[in-house]
Structure 1
Amino acid sequence: MLAYIVRRLLYAPLILVGVNLLTFALFFVVNTPDDMARMQLGVKRVTPEAIERWKAERGYDKPLLFNASANGVGAFTHTVFFEKSLRMFVFDFGRADDGRDIATEISSRMGPSLTIALPTFVLGLFVTVAFALLLVFFRSSYLDFWGGVLCVGMMSISGLFYIIGGQWLISKIWHLVPISGYGGGADVSRFLVLPVLIGVVGGLGASSRWYRTIFLEEAGKDYVRTARAKGLSELQALFRHVLKNGMIPVLTGVVVVIPSLFMGSLLTESFFGIPGLGSYTIDAINAQDFLIVRAMVFIGALLYIVGLLLTDLSYTLVDPRVRLE
């Protein structure tokens, strides 16, 4: 297991370099440094001198990937890609186009993102697993049938519908909670209720249907039938055997979601005015701020690698066969 972990960690820098290169290429296919300068300067007829000055101040006055005027290794190191990428691997993200430190902004916005994402994750996992077990317990009944119909219907509805519909019904019509915004201290709970509720309801259909399929497959295996034959009730077999062994594939989907807890939800934070990392990323995309976008993609890739590693490690806790291997 230790050798496997070391091998996966050695893969991580190569993956991060590839993700960084891909992000760099996609961004500058859409916008050149000259386009970025014109957008930031906000002048339609900006002078070439002002564009060159803006590029020099922010380090965009060099070639993007290959510097033909440099010799040897300098042809690759005296470029925008190398100079902007090298600092990212020591978590020095630099400053945004508006002058604010990116690392400071990320650390300050991580709190609101976690405040929304953690309750949604924990409550959503509990509700979806419980609903899936309920459908398996009453399998082949009218409850199972109509529960499946409900899951398919909820899967077919866009997440925007839940957000806009929830804001209209709960906030605008019933006036139960604020429609958007974010507050500190004890006041934050008023702003959490609606986005957490919408997050749980929006993911109920797809997750419950997937968990039901997993648990239903386990419920039909020989060891569960043997447990029933030995006198275990259906409820005991469901919680002692089906749930425990069904958690192995469930962990794959659950642990991989962990990076999104730190990165925030783009739609939720944007629509509810939450100053988290999701809204920060959306604002950076709209402003064409390359350094912020690439920093967020870099952190997301790093967290995703960590999530996959935690997934493999979590298997050892629920599957004895992995420990034996």
Structure 2
Amino acid sequence: MLAYLVRRLLYAIPILIGVNLITFALFFVVNTPDDMARMQLGVKRVTPDAIVQWKAERGYDKPLFVNSAASGLSTVTDTIFFEKSARMFVGDFGRAEDGRDIAREIATRMGPSLAIALPTFVLGLFVAVVSALALAFFRATPLDVWGVVLCVAAMSVSGLFYIIGGQFLFAKLFRLVPISGYADGLDAWRFLVLPVLIGVVSGIGGSTRWYRTIFLEEVGKDYVRTARAKGLGEHAVFFRHILRNALIPILTGVVVVIPTLFMGSLLTESFFGIPGLGSYTIDAIGAQDFAVVRSMVFIGSLLYIVGLILTDISYTLVDPRIRFS
């Protein structure tokens, strides 16, 4: 197991370098340091001298990848790519274009993002698995048919509709919760109830339908017929055998959500005015703040790789036949 983890961690390094390189290239294909300077300075203060000074103060007056005017290692290290991207591998995210420390902003905003993402993830997974088990248990019945119809209908509706509809219905019409905003401490629950509820409802259709398919595939396998032949009841077959054997594909799907637990939801946080990492990323994209964008992409990639490794490890817990060497 240790050798496997070391190999996976070593594989992660070139992946992160590649992600950094692609992000850097894509950003500067559509933007130049001059464009970034104009965006940050504003229309009234844009002059050639101001642009030159802005780039010099932030290190954007250097070449992108190769500094032909330097010698030795400086041809690579004395570049925008190395100074702005390579330092992230040692945890140095630098400063945003407005001067704020990115690492401090991430640490501050991670709390609100987790406060939304964790309850949404746990409740959504529980509701989807229970609903899928119920549909698979009562397969080929009216409950199953109408359940699938509702799932397809829920999948067909945009997540933006749930957000706007939920805000209008529960916040503006019934005035049960605030329409947007955030508060620290125990008062935060008033601002989190609606985003969490919308997150669960908007994702339940696709998750339930997918888990139902997994359970139905397990129902027709030999071990299920053997369990029934031994006299086990249908409830015992589903909860002691089918659910356990379906955990591997379920875990595979769950890993996709892990980065969002830390990165936040872009739409939800933006529409509800929650100061999390999702809204932080959206604001950075709008302001063409490359320092924040590259940091968030790097963290998301790192979390996704960690999630894949944790998923592989969890396979050994749910299936004793799986071993890594």
How high is the TM-score relative to the length of structure 2? Answer: 0.98
**Is the 8 Å Cα contact of residues 269 and 278 (structure 1) preserved in structure 2?**
yes
Q: 1:297 to 1:324 in 2, by over 3 A?
A: closer
Measured after TM superposition, the shift of residue 323 of structure 1 is 3.2
Deviations 1:79-117 (CA, angstroms, capped at 9, x unpaired): 100111221111111111111111000000000000010
Point out the more displaced range, 288-297 or 252-261.
252-261
Measured after TM superposition, the shift of residue 314 of structure 1 is 0.4
**Could you say which residue in structure 1 is the equivalent of 2:133?**
133
**Could you say which residue in structure 1 is the equivalent of 2:29?**
29
**Could you say which residue in structure 2 is the equivalent of 1:255?**
255
Partners of 1:72 and 1:181 lie apart in 2 by: 52
**Could you say which residue in structure 2 is the equivalent of 1:159?**
159
**Is the 8 Å Cα contact of residues 66 and 79 (structure 1) preserved in structure 2?**
yes
Point out the more displaced range, 72-81 or 20-29.
72-81
**Could you say which residue in structure 2 is the equivalent of 1:87?**
87
Where 2:246 maps in the other structure, the secondary structure is helix
Is residue 191 of structure 1 aligned with residue 188 of structure 2? no
Point out the more displaced range, 293-302 or 60-69.
60-69
**Could you say which residue in structure 1 is the equivalent of 2:113?**
113
Letter in 1 for 2:255: V
Identity of aligned residues (%): 77
**Could you say which residue in structure 2 is the equivalent of 1:66?**
66
Partners of 1:155 and 1:233 lie apart in 2 by: 33
**Could you say which residue in structure 2 is the equivalent of 1:210?**
210
Partners of 2:280 and 2:304 lie apart in 1 by: 19
Letter in 2 for 1:6: V
Point out the more displaced range, 177-186 or 111-120.
177-186
Partners of 2:86 and 2:296 lie apart in 1 by: 15
**Could you say which residue in structure 1 is the equivalent of 2:57?**
57
Is residue 288 of structure 1 aligned with residue 302 of structure 2? no
Measured after TM superposition, the shift of residue 324 of structure 1 is 8.2
Partners of 1:95 and 1:137 lie apart in 2 by: 54
Letter in 1 for 2:136: V
How high is the TM-score relative to the length of structure 1? Answer: 0.98
Partners of 1:185 and 1:295 lie apart in 2 by: 28
Report how many residues are paired: 325
Q: How does 1:305-316 map to 2 (within 5 A)?
A: 305-316=305-316
Q: 1:324 to 1:24 in 2, by over 3 A?
A: closer
Point out the more displaced range, 226-235 or 290-299.
226-235
Partners of 2:42 and 2:15 lie apart in 1 by: 36
Measured after TM superposition, the shift of residue 25 of structure 1 is 0.5
Partners of 1:300 and 1:283 lie apart in 2 by: 17
Deviations 1:11-64 (CA, angstroms, capped at 9, x unpaired): 111111111111101111111001111111102572211111100000001011
Letter in 1 for 2:312: D
**Is the 8 Å Cα contact of residues 4 and 324 (structure 2) preserved in structure 1?**
no
Letter in 2 for 1:34: D
Letter in 1 for 2:311: T
**Could you say which residue in structure 2 is the equivalent of 1:303?**
303
Measured after TM superposition, the shift of residue 219 of structure 1 is 1.0
Point out the more displaced range, 251-260 or 304-313.
251-260
Letter in 1 for 2:18: G
Displaced runs of 4+ in structure 1, greater than 6 A? none
**Is the 8 Å Cα contact of residues 255 and 304 (structure 2) preserved in structure 1?**
no
**Is the 8 Å Cα contact of residues 315 and 322 (structure 1) preserved in structure 2?**
yes
Where 1:320 maps in the other structure, the secondary structure is coil
Q: How does 1:205-284 map to 2 (within 5 A)?
A: 205-284=205-284
**Is the 8 Å Cα contact of residues 120 and 200 (structure 1) preserved in structure 2?**
yes
Alignment root-mean-square deviation, CA: 1.2
Q: 1:36 to 1:172 in 2, by over 3 A?
A: same
* Structure 2: stretches of 5+ with no match in the other structure: none
Letter in 2 for 1:249: P
Q: How does 1:14-25 map to 2 (within 5 A)?
A: 14-25=14-25
**Could you say which residue in structure 1 is the equivalent of 2:147?**
147
Letter in 2 for 1:80: I
Measured after TM superposition, the shift of residue 189 of structure 1 is 1.0
Q: 1:152 to 1:230 in 2, by over 3 A?
A: same
Partners of 1:44 and 1:176 lie apart in 2 by: 44
Letter in 2 for 1:251: L
* Structure 1: stretches of 5+ with no match in the other structure: none
Partners of 2:294 and 2:265 lie apart in 1 by: 17
Letter in 2 for 1:188: A
